[in-house]
C-alpha cells in the first residue's frame, strides 16, 4: 500500500481529529517538567493512544530508534529563553527532507505573529510547506498571535486566532495549532 499524504494524515488525525503530544519545549527552556524523563513520557503517550508526538530532530531520532513508533512529527523551529529581545524569533533548524529521512511522519513550523521577526518566520513556514509538498509530508503550522506588534481588529472576537489559523492554511499547512481563546464558537 502506498504511503501517501492522505495516508499519513489519517494516521495522525484519524477521522480528522487527533490527540497530539507536544514535547518540543526542551529547546526553548530547560528543565521543563516531565521532559527530564522523556522516555517514560513517550512510552506513556504511545500506550495511552496518542496519535502523534511532536519532537525536535535529535529527540525524534532517539525515540524512533528506541520505540519504532511511526507517528512522530519533527518540529523545525527553535529559539531559547537566552535570546534576549529576540527570544521569540524562531529559526529553522531542519528541513522537511531531513525530518523525512529521520523517520518523521510529518513536520512542524512556528510563527509568532506580531514579533519583529514575523516576516522571516512566515518565510520559513512557507519554505517548509514547499519542501514538504513534493514529499507528501504533512505540515503542522503553529501560529501564535502574541508579539508586541500584533494588530487585532476591534471586531475580531478571536484575538487574532482566526487570522493565525488562516495564515497557516494559506501557506499550505495541513494541520494548524493556535492558542485556545476560551470560545468554542470562535473555532467554528
Q: Which grid coordinates are listed for 33?
A: 517538567
Average pLDDT over the chain reads 96
Rounded to whole angstroms, the Cα distance separating 14 from 19 reads 9
30 is catalytic: no
Which secondary structure element, helix H or strand E, spans residue 109, and what is its range?
strand 106-113
- Cell readout for 97 is 527532507
pLDDT digits (tens, 9 = 90+) for 54-97: 999 999 999 999 999 999 999 999 999 999 999 999 999 999 99
Residue 178 corresponds to which cell in the numbers above?
A: 493556535
Please write the tens of the pLDDT for every residue from 118-162.
Answer: 999 999 999 999 999 999 999 999 999 999 999 999 999 999 999
Nearest to 72 by CA among 28, 42, 44: 42
Q: Which residue out of 7, 156, 177, 185 is catalytically annotated?
A: 177
Q: Of all helices (H) and strands (E), which one includes residue 39?
A: helix 38-47
Domain boundaries, the chain: 5-12+20-179
What are the strands, taking DSSP E only, across the chain?
A: 20-22, 52-55, 72-75, 77-78, 91-92, 106-113, 139-145, 175-177
Q: Quick one: pLDDT band at residue 43, thresholds 50, 70, 90?
A: very high
Please tell me the pTM assigned to this model.
Answer: 0.95
Give the residue-averaged pLDDT of 7-25. Answer: 97
Catalytic residue among 24, 57, 88, 115: 24
**31: confidence class by pLDDT, cuts 50, 70, 90:** confident
Burial class (CB in 10 A: 0-12, 13-18, 19+), 97: middle
Is 2 a residue whose pLDDT tops 80? no
Contact present, 27 and 78 (Cβ < 8 Å): yes
pLDDT reading at 1 higher than 50: no
Q: pLDDT value at position 34?
A: 84
Residue 144: active-site member: yes
Q: At what angle do helices 57-67 and 38-47 cross, to 10 degrees?
A: 60
Q: Of residues 57, 88, 115, 144, which has the active-site annotation?
A: 144
Is 177 catalytic? The answer is yes
CATH of domain 5-12+20-179: 3.20.20.70
Amino acid at each position: 500500500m502506498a504511503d501517501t499524504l492522505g495516508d499519513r494524515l489519517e494516521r495522525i488525525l484519524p477521522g480528522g481529529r487527533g490527540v497530539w503530544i507536544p514535547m518540543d519545549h526542551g529547546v526553548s527552556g530547560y528543565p521543563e517538567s516531565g521532559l527530564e524523563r522523556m522516555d517514560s513520557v513517550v512510552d506513556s503517550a504511545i500506550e495511552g493512544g496518542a496519535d502523534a508526538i511532536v519532537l525536535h530532530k535529535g529527540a525524534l531520532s532517539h525515540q524512533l530508534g528506541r520505540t519504532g513508533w511511526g507517528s512522530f512529527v519533527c518540529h523545525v523551529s527553535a529559539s531559547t529563553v537566552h535570546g534576549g529581545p529576540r527570544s521569540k524569533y524562531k529559526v529553522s533548524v531542519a528541513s522537511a527532507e531531513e525530518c523525512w529521512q529521520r523517520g518523521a511522519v510529518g513536520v512542524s513550523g512556528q510563527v509568532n505573529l506580531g514579533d519583529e521577526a514575523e516576516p522571516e518566520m512566515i518565510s520559513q513556514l512557507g519554505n517548509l510547506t514547499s519542501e514538504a509538498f513534493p514529499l507528501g509530508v504533512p505540515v503542522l503550522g503553529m501560529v501564535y498571535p502574541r508579539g508586541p506588534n500584533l494588530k487585532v481588529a476591534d471586531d475580531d472576537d478571536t484575538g487574532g486566532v482566526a487570522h493565525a489559523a488562516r495564515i497557516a492554511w494559506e501557506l499550505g499547512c495541513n494541520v494548524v495549532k493556535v492558542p485556545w481563546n476560551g470560545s468554542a464558537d470562535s473555532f467554528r
